[in-house]
């Protein structure tokens, strides 16, 4: 199973809402990532978790709050977002033992902030 | 910091012809160069990668070449097929220290004309 799943596929939220994005993988990967992708642009790294600990935060605003409850799950909690936060949010995972550097991406959550 | 330039931004080729996408990187210490393919509605998927101790790598119709002196690397797709239509991203990274952080090119939209 080389699949990363993300829910929901689409999300529309107002600026005062609180919502969460979910990501799951069962490949035994110990590194998990959140990326933001705007239309016609490459993915931008937001957060990296390594062995369930936050190892990289690319100066992301606090209205985005990541959480890694266990080695298979990754959440992104959203609160008080701005319209410019509308984008495709991608989750990815990779091995930590450096036998492979491939990042496996999920299909993404298309977020619209109104 | 590292910067990756990718050209062209759009490439249209006749089915059966070859396609070449080129990338240039700025940090001579970079040693890992993956290529990702992103189809509409999906997350990026690794199609081939190369490390700096290798000059060329092939996988069926896909090949990547690396010129460390010139800091160029290229993706070659032969005998293009309609399913090759997608956005292709090159990236660069410094392993093992930077194995989470890929510096992405801007992307190339490849269109295969029937």
Q: Which two tokens stand for residue A24?
A: 């799951």
Q: Say whether residue B44 is in contact with chain A using an 8 A CB cutoff.
A: yes
Which pLDDT band, with edges at 50, 70 and 90, does A96 fall under? confident
Secondary structure of chain A in the HEC alphabet? Answer: CCCEEEECCEEEECCCCEEEEEEEECCCCCEEEEEEECCCCCCEEEEEEECCEEEEECCCCCCEEEEEEECCEEEEEEECCCHHHCEEEEEEEECCCCCCCCCEECCCEEEEEC
Q: What is the pLDDT along chain B (114 residues), one digit of tens a residue?
A: 889 999 999 999 999 999 999 999 999 999 999 999 999 999 999 999 999 988 999 999 999 999 999 999 999 999 999 999 999 999 999 887 666 889 999 999 999 999
pLDDT of residue B94: 87
Q: Tell me the pLDDT tens digit for each residue of B39-66.
A: 999 999 999 999 998 899 999 999 999 9
- The stretch A6-19 carries a mean pLDDT of 95
**pLDDT score for A62:** 96
Contact call for B43 and A92, based on CB within 8 A:
yes
Per-residue pLDDT at A89: 98
pLDDT averaged over every residue in chain A: 94
Q: What is the pLDDT of residue A36?
A: 98
A47-65: average pLDDT: 94
> Is A9 in the B-facing interface, judged by CB distances under 8 Å?
no
Residues of A in contact with B102 (CB under 8 A): 45, 103
Two tokens, residue A70: 């266990």
Residue of A nearest to B32 (CA): A101
Spatial distance between the Cα atoms of B54 and B51, rounded to a whole number of angstroms: 6
Q: Mark yes or no for CB contact A42/B42 under 8 Å.
A: no
Is some CB atom of chain A closer than 8 A to the CB atom of B100? Answer: yes
Q: Is the pLDDT of residue A99 over 90?
A: no
C-alpha–C-alpha distance, residues B62 and B26, integer Å: 24
Q: Please tell me the predicted confidence (pLDDT) of residue A19.
A: 97
Q: Which pLDDT value is given to residue B55? A: 93
Residue A97's pLDDT is 72
User: Residue A1: is its pLDDT beyond 70?
Assistant: no
Label residue A100 by pLDDT band (50, 70, 90): confident
Residue among A42, A45, A55, A105 with most chain B CBs within 10 A, to mutate: A42
| Optimal mutation site among A2, A101, A105, A106, interface B, most CBs of chain B within 10 A | A101
Residue numbers in A near B96 (CB within 8 A): 98
Q: Cβ B101–A43 below 8 Å, yes or no?
A: no
A49-77: average pLDDT: 95
> Which residue of B lies nearest to A42 if distances are taken between CA atoms?
B106
Residue B2: the pLDDT is: 86
């Amino acid at each position: 199973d080389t699949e990363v799943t993300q829910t929901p596929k689409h999300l529309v939220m107002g600026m005062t809402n609180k919502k969460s994005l979910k990501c799951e993988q069962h490949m035994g990967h110990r590194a998990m990532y959140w990326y933001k992708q705007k239309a016609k642009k490459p993915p931008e790294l937001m957060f990296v978790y390594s062995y369930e600990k936050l190892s990289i935060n690319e100066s992301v605003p606090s209205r985005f709050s990541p959480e890694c409850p266990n080695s298979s799950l990754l959440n992104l909690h959203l609160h008080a977002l701005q319209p410019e936060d509308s984008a495709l949010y991608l989750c990815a995972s990779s091995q930590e033992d450096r036998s492979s550097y491939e990042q496996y991406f999920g299909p993404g959550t298309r977020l619209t902030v109104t | 910091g590292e910067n990756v330039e990718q050209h062209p931004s759009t490439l249209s080729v006749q089915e059966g012809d070859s396609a070449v996408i080129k990338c240039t990187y700025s940090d001579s210490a970079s040693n890992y160069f993956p290529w990702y393919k992103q189809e509409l509605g999906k997350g990026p998927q690794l199609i081939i990668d190369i490390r700096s101790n290798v000059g060329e790598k092939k996988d069926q119709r896909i090949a990547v070449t690396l010129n460390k002196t010139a800091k160029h690397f290229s993706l070659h797709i032969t005998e293009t097929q309609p399913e090759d239509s997608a956005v292709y991203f090159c990236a660069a990274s410094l392993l093992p220290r930077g194995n989470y952080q890929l510096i992405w090119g801007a992307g190339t939209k490849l269109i295969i004309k029937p």
